[in-house]
Structure 1
């Protein structure tokens, strides 16, 4: 099983390759800020299944979440901060290599990124699909490297 570096490399390869392909074929053309956010979500998705254990991957994952959550609080985006906090608690519910290492978790864990903004902010769900897809792709790369398929 790869460590956090292997999962980050796998996620980066999957995310950058997919994004490059989408841009190359003119299917999706994000601005640079959105492209960086999408790659970041792929990397976070690639680490998520292992954040239920004490590891360097867990430390990195939660360090990023602390910075993002603090930025949201400073900006006064309390609802987004609450959504992030809720999602950050999810790995604590269960054992390692339990539910976080399943195909259905790969699809369900990122869903709050779509459902909550649609519900709380009336954001069109279509605008959120690239972010959902990026997180699922990163999660998929983790499960693939752990040979869960």
Structure 2
């Protein structure tokens, strides 16, 4: 079973190859800052499926969720802070390599990255789609390394 370093390494590799290909073919040419953010999201996605067990991935993901929840509270977005807090508890309902290691969780768990900016700040979904896809790609890399698609 791969550890967090293997998941980070493979997530980084897959993210880098994807960004390089998109850049090379002229499909998507973000700024260096945006590329760094996308790579960071890809790495977070690579660790996210392991939030259902005591792991380095769990520690990182929950630290980021706490910070985002505090941001929502500071912005007086209590409804969204409550929804985020509720969703953050859901992995405790399963066992390791349970529902968080499924293809549908790969699409569902990163969805707040797409939904929050659109619903809270009225951004277009097209402008935030790359961030959602970066998390999905990282998540996919984890499931692929864990052989959940075989």
**TM-score (ref. length: structure 1):** 0.84
User: Which residue number in structure 2 is paired with residue 107 of structure 1?
Assistant: 107
Quickly say closer, same or farther: Cα 1:66–1:116, change in 2 above 3 A.
closer
> What is the deviation of 1:78?
5.1
Q: How does 1:86-101 map to 2 (within 5 A)?
A: 88-101=88-101
CA distance in structure 2 between the partners assigned to 1:143 and 1:28 by the alignment: 25
Shift of 1:13: 0.4
Equivalence map 1:43-54=2 (5 Å): 43-54=43-54
- 3-state SS of 2:52 partner: coil
Structure 2 equivalent of residue 61 of structure 1: 61
In structure 1, runs of 5+ residues without a counterpart are none
Partner SS, residue 104 of structure 1: helix
Residue aligning to 1:41: 41
TM-score when scaled to structure 2?
A: 0.84
Give the whole-Å Cα distance in 2 for the aligned partners of 1:93 and 1:142.
20
Q: For the residues of structure 2 that align with 1:24 and 1:84, how far apart are their CA atoms?
A: 37
- CA 1:11/1:130 → structure 2, altered by over 3 Å: closer, same or farther? same
Query: Hey, what's the Cα distance between the residues in 2 that align with 1:28 and 1:139?
Result: 21
Unaligned 5+ residue runs, structure 2?
Answer: none
Give the number of equivalent residue pairs. Answer: 147
Decide whether the 8 Å contact of 1:87 with 1:112 is kept in 2: no
Cα root mean square deviation, aligned: 2.4
For 2:86 and 2:33, how far apart are their aligned partners in 1? 25
1:18 partnered with 2:18: yes
